[in-house]
Amino acid sequence: MGVVEQEAIDKHGNAITKFWMTHDQSFPGLPGLSVNSRLIVEKPPPCMFGLCLKRILHYIASLRSHHPNTRILMNKYDFKSAYHRFNLSAQTALESITPFDELLFIFLQMTFGRAACPPQWGCISETICDVVNDLLQCKEWNHSDLHSPIPDSIPPLIYLPETTPFKAAARLAVTIPVNDKGKANVYIDNVITICPDIKDNAS
C-alpha cells in the first residue's frame, strides 16, 4: 500500500494538493506470485490512449497548417474518481485483498496498481470519447437545442494576449484529414478537445 501526491484544482480553480492511495499488485507477497503476474496479457482489450499526445500534436500541426492565423482552442476535463465508478467482480475483489495486522481490506472498486484496470476503464472512457467525436462531426446535431447541463458551469474562455504571435506549423510526414469542427482525444480518465476558433466552435 502507498500514497501518491498529485496536484489538482478545487471548484474555484485554485491549485491544491491531493493524495491517492495506491495498491501495488505487482508485489509478490507471501505466495511468491502477484496479482499482476497472473494477468493473461492477451485477454484485456488493447490500451489506445498511450498515443494520445502524439495524436493531439499531429492534429494541432494540421490545424495550424490549414489556419495559419487562427487561434486554436483546447480544453481538458477528467472523470472525477474514475476508478471508483467501476465495481470489481467478486472474484477480482477477493484477489485484491490487502492484509493489515489482523484485518483484511477488500477493494470493491478498481485499484491503482492492478494491471488490468487501465484497459478495462479504457473501454468506458474511449467509448465516451468516440461519442464526443461523432457528435462534433454530426451535421444534424444542434448543440444549442440538445446539450448537457454541464457547459453552463464551465468558466468562460481564457485567451492568450492578442500580441501572442502565431508560429508556423512544421511539415508533417503523414497526411491528417482536414477537420475544422474539432477533435477529442482521451488519456485514461482525461478527455482533451481541440478545435480552431472559427464559426461557433467555441460554444
Would you place residue 49 in the very low, low, confident or very high pLDDT band (cuts 50, 70, 90)? low
Q: How far is CA 150 from CA 121, 153, 154, 155, in A?
A: 22, 6, 7, 11
Total-model pTM: 0.76
Answer yes or no: is pLDDT of 60 > 90. yes
Domain residue ranges in the chain: 2-196
3-state helix/strand/coil string of the chain:
CEEEEEEEECCCCCEEEEEEEECCCCCCCCCCCCCHHHCCCCCCCCCCHHHHHHHHHHHHHHHHHHCCCCCEEEEEEECCCHHHHCECCHHHHHHCCEEECCEEECCCECCCCCCCHHHHHHHHHHHHHHHHHHHHHCCCCCCCCCCCCHHHHCCCCCCCCCCCCCCCCCCCCCCCCCCCCCEEEEECCEEEEEEECCCCCCC
Answer yes or no: is pLDDT of 35 > 70. yes
- Model pLDDT, residue 201: 79
Would you place residue 70 in the very low, low, confident or very high pLDDT band (cuts 50, 70, 90)? very high
The pLDDT > 90 percentage for the chain reads 20
